[in-house]
Amino acid sequence: MTPLAERLRPQSLDEYIGQQHLVGAGGVIRKFIEGGNIPSFILWGPPGVGKTTLAKLVALALGRQMFTLSAIASGVKEVREVIEAAKKSRFFSSAAPILFIDEIHRFNKAQQDSLLGAVEHGVVTLVGATTENPSFEVISPLLSRCQVYVLKAMNESELQTLLERAITKDKYLVDRGVKVEQTAALFEFSGGDARKLLNIIDIMAGASEGEIVINDQRVIDCLQQNIALYDKNGEQHYDIISAFIKSVRGSDADAAIYYLARMLAGGEDVKFIARRLVILAAEDIGLANPNALLLANACFDAVHKLGMPEARIPLAEATIYLANSPKSNSAYLAINEAMSVVEHDTTNRPVPLHLRNAPTKLMDKLGYGQGYKYAHDYEGHWVEQEFMPAGMEGRKFYTPQNKRESDAIAWKEALRAKK
């Protein structure tokens, strides 16, 4: 039987659930459709939030022919072939067909380069879908020719709407009958992913006869019994990476290696894993072991050069090293606190005059740079002076969390005590 997610795929924007900031009244994509034209764009968001469906609905609403490529199965040859087919499909001044590329973040530079001319000259309107930040994975020339729209995970209200539609509109479920007693576990395991929610219902339907009863315990029992099926389509992508990150943060190298193996066996993009390790090194290890970031970055470079299966080795090395490193998130907390202050501080505090450069005579006359103390002219290469703007003197954002950081602070305090 066709999966429930396919049976319930929306046929119009009015049936589309979620992403109201894009497709609701006044939403940018709806405005484009109402205007009869649309630029090339990339849809960035987690799995199961309707990226592919939205691309199809855009093509349908505009009456455009749509060509589809999967970044996993297509190379430069396939890209060129579909662009040539798109050229031949156009008649006179007809609008450009839409070229939809799923998982565009998996395209390498050569594949993306092969798209540039067709996008730039309007041969096709490119619509890409990605779960990864396009800034990291899409080359700058292509990214500059595309709008990027962010899709959000479904909230509980939207998941409820989807559930109600499934049990009242799908003929198979209506014939079986569905009794909803509780939804907490169903929504929690769905994680804002519409496809995951519908797949769970499919699993529950296949695990019982007669009326389908949805309650928290039944959801948990069915998923435990069908965990292999549940994993097969990559539905636990975000669950596994979350467990991996938390295992490294919690200094459990064995658990981290286990989840790394799960991701590699499931075909996870090794660049995605390497990028997460770089983030982990900066966020969770930080100044407790600054070498961690160097090793993680070296791992990232190695993974790009090697590919699988050899990439598993530097990934394992970096994972174990990071898990066994001392931890500090002091830099992460400091920048978040500082950014929060900057975001909410509307005074636009001027930089103190003594910290400003004076490249012109007028600036020098106005006092720019006057009174600045050059640290290297003083004992220990440090001198007491105020660097914060007026009104923020003495404000602290950074708090050391381990001996390495505390020793650095103690060095400065010792110099201050001598003055």
State the burial class of residue 119 (Cβ atoms within 10 Å of its Cβ: 0-12, 13-18, 19+).
buried
At residue 167 the predicted structure's pLDDT band, cuts being 50, 70 and 90, is very high
Nearest CA to 255 out of 263, 246, 264 is that of 246
Average pLDDT, the chain: 85
- Give tens-digit pLDDT for 79-133: 888 888 888 877 666 788 999 998 888 888 888 888 888 888 888 999 999 888 8
How far is 373 from 305, CA to CA, in rounded Å? 47
Q: Is the pLDDT of residue 229 over 60?
A: no
pTM above 0.85, yes or no: no
Alpha-carbon distances, residue 417 vs 318, 382, 405 (angstroms): 41, 12, 19
How far is 327 from 319, CA to CA, in rounded Å? 14
CA angle 91, 93, 96 (to 5 degrees): 75
Q: Is the pLDDT of residue 335 over 90?
A: no
How far is 205 from 174, CA to CA, in rounded Å? 12
Strands 212-214 and 178-180: parallel
Domains belonging to the chain, first-starting first, are: 18-150 (3.40.50.300), 156-232 (1.10.8), 237-323 (1.20.272.10), 348-418 (no CATH)
Q: How is residue 292 written in tokens?
A: 């961690």
pLDDT value at residue 232: 38
How far is 30 from 28, CA to CA, in rounded Å? 6
Alpha-carbon distances, residue 204 vs 3, 12, 200, 225, 232 (angstroms): 13, 28, 6, 10, 16
- Give tens-digit pLDDT for 187-228: 988 888 898 899 899 889 888 888 999 999 998 888 776 544
Unique residue bearing structure tokens 């970031």: 293
SS3 73: coil
The 10 Å CB-count burial string (b at 16+, else e) for 284-320 is: bbbbbbeebbebbbebbebbeeeeeeebbebbbebbb
How far is 46 from 68, CA to CA, in rounded Å? 20
How far is 343 from 227, CA to CA, in rounded Å? 44
* Residue 69 burial (CB count, 10 A): 23
How far is 139 from 354, CA to CA, in rounded Å? 41
